[in-house]
Each structure stands twice: as C-alpha cells, then as structure tokens.
A = this chain, B = another copy of it.
C-alpha cells in the first residue's frame, strides 16, 4: 500500500488491530453457539467476550509467537489465551485456521466495498450536478480526436454518470460475491463443528453462509471481486483521460483546480498540469494489476493450498485502499473542475463549420442525390477546408453539385438542431423526476 494514496478510514480496515478484533469476534461468536449447543461451557463463552471484547491485541507479541510456531492463526490464538485466560482453550473447537482467516477477509472486503460504494456515490453526485449545469453547453464531439459533430458538455458527463451507475452495481455485486462465511472445519465436512455455528457467525457478521467450502472459501469469488474493481478502475481512467485531453494547452476546455501556492513544475513557473487525473490514470493501472493474480489464485490444489495468501495480503488492501483514494480524488476533480464554455465554442469553430458535413450530405440525399455522390461532393469541399483553401460554407455554395440554396445551407449549420434529444437522453440516465426538478429550477 502506498501511503500517499491511502485514506486513513480505508487503511484502518486493514490494520492488524482491526483484523485481530474481527478474528476474535468470529471465534467468540462461534463460542456462543457452541455453548448453546452444549459443546463448550456457557460460562466459557461469556468469559471470552468479557475479557476479549475491548482487548487491545498486541501485534508484536503475536509476531513473536508466529516466529516460533510458523502459523499465524495459532499465534493469534496463543495470544488470545494470554489475554483471555484458560477459557480460551474452548475457542476454535473443530474449526480450522481458514475458517477464521477467510471469514475475516470477507468482513474486511465487505467494509472496504461499503466505502467504495459511498465513494462512487460521491462521484455520481458530482457528475450529476455538473451534467445538469452544462446540459446545453455546446461542445464539439470528437471521434478519433478529430472534430465530429456538436454535442453538449452535459451529455459527455451524463455518459460517465451512466458508467459509474454501472460501477456501483458492479461493486454491489462484487460485495455480494465475497460476503460469505465459512466455518466448516479442516476440509469443509463439518466433522467437528456444527453447521449451526457457521449460520450463527454468518448472521452476527452480516454475511451469507458459504454453501460448500473446502478448507477455504472458493477463490472464484475473490477473482470476480477484483475483476470488478479492475473494471471500475478502468472507468476512472476513461474519465481522467477525458479531462487530461480537455486540459491540454491547445484545447483548454476544462482544467483541474489549481490551488494558491501550488507549483506546477520545479523548472517552469508557468505550468498548470493535470496531475490529479494523470495520477488517477496511474492508479487505474495499479488497481487493475490485482486482477490477473486474483484469477491465478482460483486454482488452489485439492481442498486448498496457501499460495493465495501472500497474493491477498498484497492485493486486498492495496486494490481497495487505492481505489477508495482514486474515487474520492475523482469526485473532487469533477466537483471542482474549471470549465471553459467559451473555449468549447472557439474550438468548435476551428474547422469553420465542417462539423455540419453530415447534415449537408443528408440534405442532398433527401433531394434525391445518391448517397455516394452526395458523400463525394461534401468530402470534396471538406478536404479543401483541411488544406486551408476556403471556408466550408463558401465552398459548398460555389459547388455546382451541391444543389442547395444558401438559405438551406445556412439552416443546416444550426447548432440547436443537434441538441433536440438531449433531454430524452438525460431522462434515460437521470430519470424523469430529476429532469422535472431541473426544468423547474431553470
């Protein structure tokens, strides 16, 4: 985990203290049910909670024990005995280490995903506000980074909004995938621990019961989880890249907030660089790098091997914490993005009306000209514009094969024509209600 890309709230989920607390609770909840089932004394379960509920677990001490026994859960349980006393011997009856480890991981990943969903909500809120703010702000649509036809800046943002709605659903689904509890013993047979224990712990922790586990919760779940994070990271990269393009000197249609006191370059005092979105681009690569190892983790041998463990010690905190950071950073950038509508118009005019070439062609076909011929006429005029040989409209007027009057042509150059369906799309994306509210506020 890279500290500078970690919010405390997210990083804390992965602290040893948090983990030990969750592990204790799993064991203690299990003890409750075992006590109820008569497997261990009720008093033992009670004492365990009393002594352990608010305990501060000593990570260094646990490390010290682990160096001897070379087993993390045994080290933890040994330390629990030091804190809780002899009743601790009733803990972990019939359970196996993975019962604790995997269920703890499920709790941690669930909490991390809750944060991520909140983060996406912040991105959505920012996108929605700015989308409505610029619902009808004209800007050029670009395919291949070449001017295509007019669109609105709000429509651009609406597209990203819809993508982050999908991101939210993917995260919800990802949480559903990994939020399961397994307390099924050494090879998943419940030989020495009753299924009721598992059900009880699952309920207490807000998890589903894993229908069938081996020694571990199956890792296809985690593969699907990290894959979902990788897709969300890619959506961040798309929006970040859009902003980077819009901020480039020659375009400057939007710009990241630049703070008082900020310095863009150690060498060049004039610089204002889109460093936040470039950073998001890099973080997207990092987060995506969790996907393949998570998939390679699926193939554990037989009832489990432990090769997945080191991988998850890396990717579980790193991918969730960095994604949390990235989403927050993105929300901030969108919220405070400086937008230059006048530059959008200026850029759109750069090609002198070429963005209307399709309308001219279609108008010609409506007049009975064959599509191929109409295309050739309009392309001919357009290529002259590219070569700097005149304005598009003049060239069209001078072209005999363009059988349109000047009034007709001028009419085809109307910007508003392109925005007639913006509200239809907004209603699809944000809902009729949001549209009505926006209209009312205008």
CB pair B263 A144 closer than 8 Å: no
- Look across to chain B and name the residue whose beta carbon is closest to the beta carbon of A234: B298
The yes or no answer to A50 lying at the interface (CB within 8 A) is no
- Look across to chain B and name the residue whose beta carbon is closest to the beta carbon of A158: B212
CB pair B293 A285 closer than 8 Å: yes
- Look across to chain B and name the residue whose beta carbon is closest to the beta carbon of A379: B269
CB pair B96 A421 closer than 8 Å: no
Roughly how many angstroms separate A288 CA and B224 CA in the complex, as a whole number?
12
A264-301: contact bitstring with B at CB < 8 Å (1 yes, 0 no)?
11111111111100110111011011111101111111
Known: A96-B266, A285-B307. A189 touches B149 (CB 8 A): yes
A325-358: contact bitstring with B at CB < 8 Å (1 yes, 0 no)?
0000000000000000000000100110011011
The yes or no answer to A413 lying at the interface (CB within 8 A) is no
Cβ of A173: which chain B residues have Cβ within 8 Å of it?
Answer: 173
CB pair B187 A148 closer than 8 Å: yes
The yes or no answer to A227 lying at the interface (CB within 8 A) is yes
CB pair B96 A270 closer than 8 Å: no
Roughly how many angstroms separate A192 CA and B361 CA in the complex, as a whole number?
11
CB pair A143 B188 closer than 8 Å: no
Cβ of A378: which chain B residues have Cβ within 8 Å of it?
Answer: 269-270
Interface size on A, residues (CB 8 A): 166
CB pair A359 B297 closer than 8 Å: no
Cβ of A270: which chain B residues have Cβ within 8 Å of it?
Answer: 351, 354-355, 357, 378-379, 382, 385-386, 392
Nearest CB of B to A149, in Å: 5
Q: Which of A73-81, A116-124, A403-411, A433-441 contacts B (4 or more CB under 8 A)?
A: A73-81
CB pair A268 B418 closer than 8 Å: no
Roughly how many angstroms separate A422 CA and B301 CA in the complex, as a whole number?
21
Contact of A295 among B283, B288, B309, B428 (CB under 8 A): B288
Known: A227-B230, A249-B351, A281-B307. A142 touches B263 (CB 8 A): no
The yes or no answer to A429 lying at the interface (CB within 8 A) is yes
CB pair B146 A273 closer than 8 Å: yes
- Look across to chain B and name the residue whose beta carbon is closest to the beta carbon of A253: B250
Nearest CB of B to A70, in Å: 5
Dominant secondary structure at the A interface: helix
Contact of A279 among B162, B249, B296, B310 (CB under 8 A): B310
Cβ of A272: which chain B residues have Cβ within 8 Å of it?
Answer: 146, 383, 386
Q: In A365-397, which residues have CB < 8 Å from any B CB? A: 365, 370-372, 375-376, 378-379, 382-383, 385-386, 392
A216-259: contact bitstring with B at CB < 8 Å (1 yes, 0 no)?
00101101100110110111011001101101111100000001
Roughly how many angstroms separate A385 CA and B355 CA in the complex, as a whole number?
30
Contact of A419 among B189, B271, B362, B392 (CB under 8 A): B189
The yes or no answer to A306 lying at the interface (CB within 8 A) is yes
Contact of A143 among B215, B310, B357, B386 (CB under 8 A): B215
Known: A148-B187, A234-B295. A279 touches B306 (CB 8 A): yes
The yes or no answer to A69 lying at the interface (CB within 8 A) is yes
CB pair B71 A263 closer than 8 Å: yes
CB pair A163 B220 closer than 8 Å: yes
Roughly how many angstroms separate A271 CA and B162 CA in the complex, as a whole number?
28
CB pair B187 A149 closer than 8 Å: yes
Roughly how many angstroms separate A223 CA and B285 CA in the complex, as a whole number?
13
A–B pairs, 14, beta carbons within 8 Å: A149-B191, A170-B224, A185-B267, A189-B422, A191-B358, A209-B428, A233-B295, A270-B357, A270-B385, A282-B308, A282-B309, A285-B307, A285-B311, A288-B293
* Closest 10 pairs (CB-CB, A-B): A141-B187, A270-B382, A144-B273, A282-B310, A234-B298, A227-B227, A145-B248, A270-B357, A142-B302, A190-B421
